[in-house]
């Protein structure tokens, strides 16, 4: 039996956050409805190629999927269920932000079979939230959290960020303590990365930059003129926050199963694990990515592809018909980027994606997939990293995994397998 994961991109949000470089933007109701209609067309017709697959995870990401109405989400889910074979126990996740879903919406999500929510909190400090350009306060988040639990959701992730401008050890510890008191099943904790094209990039990275007076952060300057958020935390403070996250979450029963992800036992995100283990997945919607396998002469090939990223283009693709009114199926019209992965590409991905997980990578799985022994391909790199104390082979499983020191410099380790 062959399994498939599905990612559905909803590119709309209430307001673009100051650090966000995702393919998302505010929109009006008409645009959102047009997008839902176009998305359902894509779902219906691309599913034709996957009639023999069992879908075991579905993930709605964004943007903010919860900006859609309950009726719009119902239409999308109905189209997915009518087009694909969905495993009865499938993990169906949805990202949401505080203040974008009332209790009625949450009840609809539950009825639709959505069984995992991921809530974007980022910080429990209201000034930090305003500085980030978030639309909510800590109090708004608590109201959402109470509704989520009341609606019966028992598998919920909370997203957190550290190393924010002006953030202190004390304010970050306070955020961790508040979140841990709620006992979510899963916590994703990321250190802020300044991405090109964001407002933060203009402020922190551009050579000349803009004057503080010219930069609007949220609804007000939020202390920029006084210099409160003028600088990012230094490396020592960033490091302390990083170590604090691991320590406090471990003390509260969360095990780290991936570099930035922690879960109570049994609540690891199956969909994301599929990404790290290079499981086949289909991306639907604007700008979404796919990793698909195809049997061709000479064996199985791997294809990474990406959907069109221009919204107007996506909305106008339409579904073509021939002169007899029959649907013309052409998957390529949704695809803007198409890359055939060489065996070398695949082996590199196996290494740097698999090593993100704390369990590490399995030599036997490598040999099964690629017909070569792991040590024959990457023996010198493995030997070097083991000597440096960045990689270790676990006695019981024989898997290679990052050491604590290796986790700290993971990008340095991953580069070793790219040549």
Q: Does CATH place domain 343-419 in 1.10.8.80?
A: no
Q: Give 10-residue mean pLDDT values along the chain (419 residues).
A: 94 92 91 97 95 97 96 98 98 97 97 98 96 95 98 98 95 98 98 90 68 50 57 91 97 98 98 98 97 76 95 83 49 87 96 97 96 96 97 93 94 92
Cβ–Cβ < 8 Å for 67, 29: no
Q: Which residues contact 163 (CB under 8 A, 6 or more apart)?
A: 191, 192, 232, 233, 237, 238, 241
pLDDT at 323: 44
pLDDT at 319: 54
Backbone Cα Rg of the chain: 22
Closest Cα partner for 370 from 340, 401, 341? 341
Cβ–Cβ < 8 Å for 115, 151: no
pLDDT at 417: 95
Peptide bond into 169 cis (omega under 30): no
What is the Cα–Cα distance from 343 to 303, expressed in whole angstroms? 11
Which residue in the block uniquely carries the two structure tokens 């283990």? 277
Fold match, 2-276 / 343-419? no
Long-range contacts of 375-379 (CB under 8 A, 24+ apart): 377/347, 378/347, 378/351, 378/417
How far CA 270 is from CA of 53, 116, 293, 323, in Å, comes to: 17, 11, 19, 44
Q: Which residues contact 288 (CB under 8 A, 6 or more apart)?
A: 7, 8, 9, 306, 307
pLDDT at 88: 97
User: CB 287: neighbour CB atoms within 10 A?
Assistant: 20
pLDDT at 294: 85
Where do the structural domains in the chain lie, given as residue ranges? 2-276, 343-419
Q: Does CATH place domain 2-276 in 2.60.40.1930?
A: no
195 membership: H or E segment, kind and range: none
Could you give phi then psi for residue 130, rounded to 5 degrees? -65, -40
* pTM across the whole model: 0.92
């Amino acid at each position: 039996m062959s399994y498939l994961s599905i990612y559905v991109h909803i590119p709309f949000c209430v307001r673009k956050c100051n650090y966000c470089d995702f393919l998302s933007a505010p929109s009006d109701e008409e645009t959102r409805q047009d997008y839902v209609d176009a998305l359902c067309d894509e779902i219906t017709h691309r599913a034709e190629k996957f009639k023999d697959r069992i879908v075991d995870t579905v993930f709605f990401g964004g943007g903010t999927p919860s900006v859609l109405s309950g009726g719009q989400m119902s239409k999308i889910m109905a189209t997915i269920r009518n087009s694909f074979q969905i495993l009865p126990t499938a993990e169906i996740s949805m990202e949401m932000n505080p203040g974008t879903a009332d209790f009625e919406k949450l009840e609809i999500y539950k009825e639709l079979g959505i069984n995992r929510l991921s809530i974007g909190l980022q910080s429990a400090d209201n000034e930090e939230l305003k500085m980030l350009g978030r639309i909510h306060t800590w109090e708004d988040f608590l109201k959402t959290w109470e509704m989520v639990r009341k609606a019966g959701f028992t598998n919920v992730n909370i997203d957190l960020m550290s190393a924010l401008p002006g953030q202190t050890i004390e304010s970050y510890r306070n955020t961790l303590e508040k979140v841990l008191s709620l006992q979510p099943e899963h916590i994703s904790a990321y250190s802020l990365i300044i991405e090109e094209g964001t407002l933060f990039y203009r402020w922190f990275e551009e050579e000349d930059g803009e004057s503080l007076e010219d930069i609007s952060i949220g609804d007000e300057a939020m202390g920029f003129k006084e210099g409160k958020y003028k600088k990012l935390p230094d490396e020592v403070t960033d490091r302390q926050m990083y170590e604090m996250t691991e320590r406090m979450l471990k003390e509260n029963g969360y095990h780290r199963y991936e570099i930035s992800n922690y879960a109570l036992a049994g609540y690891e995100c199956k969909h994301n694990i599929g990404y790290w283990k290079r499981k086949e997945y289909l991306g639907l919607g604007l700008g979404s990515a796919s990793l698909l396998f195809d049997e061709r002469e000479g064996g199985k090939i791997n294809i990474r592809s990406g959907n069109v990223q221009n919204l107007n283009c996506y909305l106008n693709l339409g579904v073509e018909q021939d002169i007899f009114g029959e649907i013309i199926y052409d998957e390529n019209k949704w695809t803007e980027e198409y890359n055939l992965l060489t065996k070398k590409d695949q082996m590199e991905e196996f290494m740097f994606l698999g090593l993100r997980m704390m369990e590490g990578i399995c030599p036997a799985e490598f040999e099964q997939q690629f017909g070569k022994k792991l040590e024959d391909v990457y023996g010198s790199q493995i030997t070097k990293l083991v000597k440096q104390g960045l990689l270790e082979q676990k006695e019981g499983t024989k898997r290679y995994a990052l050491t604590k020191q290796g986790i700290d410099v993971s990008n340095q380790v991953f580069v070793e397998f790219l040549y």
